[in-house]
Amino acid sequence: MEVALLIVSILLIIIVLLQGAKSENGPQIISGGQSELFSNRKERGSELVITRITMVLGAAFFIICLVSMFI
C-alpha cells in the first residue's frame, strides 16, 4: 500500500509541475493591475488531458490514504 501511495505521489507531483500557469501576468496580480485572472478559459488538447490526469491522481491519492488509514 505504501508503494502505491509513493508512486501516485510522485506522479501527482510531476503532473502538477507540467501544468501551465493559469495567469500570464503574475506581477499585475500583486500590484493590482487589470488582470483577467478569473476569466473563463476553456482548456483544450493537452491542457485538458493533464487536468483530467491530475484529478484522477488526486482522487487516487485521497482514496489510498483513506484505505491505508483503516488498515
Instruction: Give how far Cα 29 sits from Cα of 14, 26, 35, 52, 58, Å.
Output: 26, 5, 6, 27, 27
Per-residue model confidence as pLDDT tens digits over 18-64? 887 665 555 655 665 555 555 566 778 888 899 999 999 999 999 99
Domain residue ranges in the chain = 2-70
| DSSP at 21 | P
Average pLDDT over residues 6-14: 96
